[in-house]
Amino acid sequence: MIDLPVCHRLAASLANRWQRRRETVLMTTTPEEVAMPEPTDDGPVAQYLSAIESAGMAECQALAPDVLLDATVPNWRYCVRGDAAVRTELARWYAQPGTFEELDRRQLPSGELIGFTLRWEEAGVPHSVHQAHILEVSDGRITRDQVWCGGRWAASLMAEMAEASDASI
């Protein structure tokens, strides 16, 4: 695990890099040229999503050797680097096979933006998680995963949220 000050410096550096990329794309392309192709079902992102859904992250080969996981979770932010360490961390997150109830994939110049709601059962209790990931891909492997996670929700909390919401969760 990388210490928090290092993670903050890294996040600031990455944010500057994303802003420069965005400005370059906006200055050098027309709106028609910015249109991205549809995500594919056979690349590293598809392999990654399959590993999440099947609880097979320990065997996932979609990650680059020096992949960075930059995770924002309830009340915390941390970074993990290296394919073995990231697979170990994500195997804890996705320890049970589940089903994507919602899945949105959007191509980006350097990878893909994915958002999903994953549902699974744990000790007979339904759970879900709602996450967004910005994935950078290079040479057919995921090199960076910046993720925001709302937390793991058991059935009782999901029911409470649905009751408090106008829209069904």
Polymer length in residues for the chain: 169
Q: Lowest-confidence range among 4-8, 64-68, 120-124?
A: 4-8
- Quick one: 158 exposed, middle or buried, by C-beta within 10 A (0-12, 13-18, 19+)? middle
> Under a CB-based contact definition with an 8 Å cutoff, are residues 139 and 133 in contact?
no
- pLDDT tens readout for residues 26-80: 455 444 554 544 555 779 999 999 999 999 999 999 999 999 999 999 999 999 9
CATH architecture of 4-164: Roll (3.10)
Q: Which secondary structure element, helix H or strand E, spans residue 91, and what is its range?
A: helix 83-93
Q: Which residue has the tokens 């420069």?
A: 20
Q: What whole-number distance in Å separates Cα of residue 145 and Cα of residue 134?
A: 6
pLDDT at 97 over 80: yes
The pTM (predicted TM-score) of the whole model is 0.73
CA 46 to chain centre: 12
Beta bridge partners of 126: 121
Q: Lowest-confidence range among 7-21, 29-43, 49-63, 141-155?
A: 7-21
Token pair of 118 as six digits: 């994953």
Residue extents of the structural domains in the chain: 4-164
Q: How confident is the model at residue 25 (pLDDT cuts 50, 70, 90)?
A: very low
Tally of helices (H runs) and strands (E runs) in the chain = 5, 6
Q: What is the DSSP secondary structure assignment for residue 59, as one 8-state letter? A: G
> Under a CB-based contact definition with an 8 Å cutoff, are residues 47 and 125 in contact?
no
